[in-house]
Amino acid sequence: MVDPSIVAASALHGLATGAVYALVALGLSLVYGVLHIVNFAHGSLLMLALYGVYFLHERLGLDPYLALPVLLPVAGLAGYALHRWVIAPAGGARDENVLLVTLGLALVLENLALVAFRSDTRTIETAYSFSMVALGPALLPLPKLVALLGSLVATLVLWAIVQKTDLGRAIRAVAREREAARLVGIDTRHAFALAFAIGTASSAVAACLLLPSYYVSPQVGHGFVLIAFTIVVLGGMGSFWGAFWGGLLIGVVESLGGLFLGESLGQIGIFAIFIAVLLFRPTGLLGRPL
Amino acid sequence: MLEVRELRAGYGPVEILRGVDLDVAKGEVVALLGANGAGKTTLNRTLSGLLRPRAGSIRFAGEPIGGLSAEAVLARGLVHVPEGRRIFANLTVRENLLLGAYRRGRARRRANLERVLALFPRLAERLGQPAGTLSGGEQQMLAIGRGLMAEPSLLVLDEPSLGLAPMIVRQVLELAAGLARDGLAVLLVEQNVVQALAVARRAYVLEQGRIAAAGPAAELLADDRLRRLYLGL
Write out pLDDT tens, residues A109-137.
999 999 999 999 999 998 888 899 988 87
Map B137-201 to HEC letters: HHHHHHHHHHHHCCCCCEEEEECCCCCCCHHHHHHHHHHHHHHHHCCCEEEEECCCHHHHHHHCC
CB contacts, 8 Å: A181 with chain B: 88, 99
CB contacts, 8 Å: A175 with chain B: 90
Among A169, A179, A187, the residue with its CB nearest the CB of B99 is A169
Asked if A281 contacts A235 with a C-beta cutoff of 8 angstroms, the reply is no
Ranges of residues in chain B with a pLDDT under 70 are 230-233
Among B50, B89, B102, the residue with its CB nearest the CB of A184 is B102
Write out pLDDT tens, residues A59-107.
999 999 999 999 999 999 999 999 999 998 887 767 788 888 999 999 9
Q: State the Cα–Cα distance between residues B214 and B150, nearest whole angstrom.
A: 30
Asked if A185 contacts A175 with a C-beta cutoff of 8 angstroms, the reply is no
Q: Quick one: average pLDDT of A270-279? A: 87
In this complex, do A172 and B74 lie within 8 Å of one another by their Cβ atoms? no
pLDDT confidence of residue A95: 75
Helix/strand/coil for B207: strand
Nearest CA in chain B to A185: B71
Q: Quick one: average pLDDT of A163-187? A: 93
Q: Which amino acid is at A60?
A: L
Nearest CA in chain B to A180: B86
- Produce one character per residue of B51-90: b if its CB has 16 or more CB atoms within 10 Å, e if not: bebbebebebeeeebbebebbebbebbbbbbbbbbbbbeb
pLDDT confidence of residue B188: 96
Check pLDDT > 70 for residue A278.
yes
DSSP string, A133-187: EEETTEEEEHHHHHHHHHHHHHHHHHHHHHHHSHHHHHHHHHHH-HHHHHHTT--
What is the architecture of the domain spanning A4-127+134-280? Orthogonal Bundle (1.10)
- Smallest Cα–Cα separation from A212: which of A60, A66, A12? A66
CB contacts, 8 Å: B113 with chain A: none
Shortest Cα distance, chain B CAs vs residue A174, angstroms: 9
Shortest Cα distance, chain B CAs vs residue A185, angstroms: 4
Q: State the Cα–Cα distance between residues B184 and B186, nearest whole angstrom.
A: 6
Shortest Cα distance, chain B CAs vs residue A277, angstroms: 25
DSSP A87: I
Asked if B196 contacts B25 with a C-beta cutoff of 8 angstroms, the reply is no
pLDDT confidence of residue B187: 97
Q: State the Cα–Cα distance between residues A184 and B149, nearest whole angstrom.
A: 9
H helix or E strand, kind and range, residue A220:
helix A220-235
Q: State the Cα–Cα distance between residues A252 and A70, nearest whole angstrom.
A: 31
Among A176, A183, A186, the residue with its CB nearest the CB of B48 is A183
Structural domain boundaries of chain A?
A: 4-127+134-280
Answer whether B202 touches A (CB < 8 Å).
no
Q: Quick one: average pLDDT of A17-32? A: 93
Beta strands in A18-70 (DSSP E): none
Nearest CA in chain A to B147: A184
Name, in order, each residue with C-beta under 8 angstroms of B73's C-beta and a sequence gap of 6 or more. Answer: B47, B48, B49, B60, B65
Q: How many helices (H) and strands (E) does chain A have?
A: 12, 2
Among A173, A182, A186, the residue with its CB nearest the CB of B91 is A173
Question: ipTM of this complex > 0.95?
Answer: no
CB contacts, 8 Å: A179 with chain B: 50, 82, 86
Optimal mutation site among B99, B103, B106, B149, interface A, most CBs of chain A within 10 A: B99
Q: Count other Cβ atoms within 10 Å, centred on residue B232.
A: 10
Q: Is the dihedral of CA B153, B159, B163, B166 positive or negative?
A: positive
pLDDT confidence of residue B35: 85
pLDDT confidence of residue A193: 95
Shortest Cα distance, chain B CAs vs residue A177, angstroms: 6
pLDDT confidence of residue A288: 63
Q: Count other Cβ atoms within 10 Å, centred on residue B171.
A: 16
H helix or E strand, kind and range, residue A62:
none
What order of strands is seen across the sheet that includes strand B2-11?
B14-24, B2-11, B55-60, B63-64
CB contacts, 8 Å: A183 with chain B: 48, 50, 70, 74, 79-82, 86
Check pLDDT > 90 for residue A175.
no
Optimal mutation site among A184, A190, A194, A240, interface B, most CBs of chain B within 10 A: A184
Nearest CA in chain A to B109: A166
Q: State the Cα–Cα distance between residues A73 and A54, nearest whole angstrom.
A: 17
- For chain B, where are the alpha helices, taking DSSP H only? 40-47, 70-75, 93-100, 106-119, 121-125, 136-148, 166-181, 193-199, 217-222, 224-229
Check pLDDT > 50 for residue A290.
no
pLDDT confidence of residue B233: 66
Give the burial class of B118: count Cβ atoms within 10 A of its Cβ; 0-12 exposed, 13-18 middle, 19 or more buried.
exposed
Q: State the Cα–Cα distance between residues A219 and B73, nearest whole angstrom.
A: 48
Q: State the Cα–Cα distance between residues B77 and B180, nearest whole angstrom.
A: 14
Give the burial class of A118: count Cβ atoms within 10 A of its Cβ; 0-12 exposed, 13-18 middle, 19 or more buried.
exposed
H helix or E strand, kind and range, residue B126:
none
Optimal mutation site among A34, A176, A183, A288, interface B, most CBs of chain B within 10 A: A183
In this complex, do A173 and B75 lie within 8 Å of one another by their Cβ atoms? no
CB contacts, 8 Å: B88 with chain A: 172-173, 176-177, 180-181
Shortest Cα distance, chain B CAs vs residue A192, angstroms: 16
Give the burial class of B141: count Cβ atoms within 10 A of its Cβ; 0-12 exposed, 13-18 middle, 19 or more buried.
buried
Q: What are phi and psi of A273, to 5 degrees?
A: -65, -40
Shortest Cα distance, chain B CAs vs residue A180, angstroms: 6
Asked if B135 contacts B41 with a C-beta cutoff of 8 angstroms, the reply is no
In this complex, do A184 and B99 lie within 8 Å of one another by their Cβ atoms? yes
Q: State the Cα–Cα distance between residues A43 and A247, nearest whole angstrom.
A: 16
- Interface size between A and B, measured as CB pairs under 8 A: 60
Answer whether B177 touches A (CB < 8 Å).
no
The structural domains of chain B, ordered by start, are 2-87+154-229 (3.40.50.300)
CB contacts, 8 Å: A36 with chain B: none
Tell me how far CA of residue B184 lies from CA of A20, A195, B91, B181, in angstroms.
53, 36, 28, 7
Q: Quick one: average pLDDT of A47-66? A: 96
Give ∠ CA A128-A129-A132 in degrees, rounded to 5.
75
pLDDT confidence of residue B200: 95
Q: State the Cα–Cα distance between residues B9 and A245, nearest whole angstrom.
A: 50
